[in-house]
Amino acid sequence: MTTVAFQGEHGAYSEEALRQHFGDAAVSLPQRTFEGIFTAIEQGEADYGVLPVENAVAGSINKAYDLLLTHDLRVSGEIYLPVRHHLMAPPGTRLEDIRRVRSHPQALAQCEDYLAQRGWHPEPWYDTAGSAKDLAAHPEAGVAAIASRLAAEIYGLQILASDIQDLTWNITRFFVIGHDEAPPAPRAKTSLVFAVPHRPGALHACLGEFARRHINLTKLESRPRRNKPWHYVFYLDFEGHPTEQRVQEALIGLLSRAAFVKLLGAYPAADKQPH
């Protein structure tokens, strides 16, 4: 049986992503922090982890990328999860009874217009699923939570309204991480991180290795190097797999020009609009 670590309480959006990718038979292992996901895999408590790396609205999750650089786990898959926020409360609560709404600050911000139109007071909570868990354990009159449909099912809360997020295209991208390498796929993507020498044209030369071989880049983002102030590393995703000759040639060219290169993993490209 496959055990998969995720950050948050049971019912978190990460657990929804886990079930979307691995199915309901997988054993989900909650962790308090992103670091806990890596530790659980490294210590053999989990086979894989599901790690959120970016959101279509909020952008990249920097902590996740920093951990990918400092640990030696491999990316073997990606998941795109539409974030659908649901308003929930203990059974018997009516919509007109609601006065206060709890959730993680990011979820509250993503439903800001919906809450403001109804005059409800937002109350920041440590976690989306945690707000549902705590409300179920300690019901309060006039209080609702914003969390996933899975959280409502787990904690026995009644969904009062669905899809209350202000933006319909709120999608989070996750990496599947572990010790395994994914086999080549017809639609593959590769993720890596590299640094360049501190001289003019160095980044242009590195990226040119991909451009002249017509390899499409799908993500490029810089992060500060933790051991060198005002120097940067670059996280890069591109279409293709290291078993392809053109990709091998591009990677050899990159290795000859970069200060360092770390391959994070190659994996099947996921559908950006999952159903």
Q: Is 174 a catalytic residue?
A: yes
Residue 48 CA to residue 50 CA, distance in Å, equals 7
Give just the sign of the alpha carbon dihedral 262, 264, 270, 275.
negative
76, 182 Cβ separation under 8 angstroms: yes
Strands (E), 148-187: 158-162, 171-178
Q: Name the one residue in this structure whose structure tokens are 């709404």.
A: 101
Closest CA to 112 of 85, 80, 89: 85
Q: Which H helix or E strand runs over 19?
A: helix 13-22
| Look-up of token digits 């209080």 | 143
Residue 98: how many other CB atoms lie within 10 Å: 21
Cβ atoms within 10 A of the Cβ of 42, count?
14
Cα–Cα distance, 178 to 42 (Å, whole number): 8
Catalytic residue among 22, 34, 174, 210: 174
**Which residue among the candidates 34, 172, 194, 238 is catalytic per the annotation?**
172
Burial 151-174, CB ≥16 within 10 A → b, else e:
bbebbebeebbeebbeeeebbbbb
User: How many Cβ atoms are within 10 Å of 105's Cβ, its own excluded?
Assistant: 12
The residues assigned a catalytic role are: 172, 174
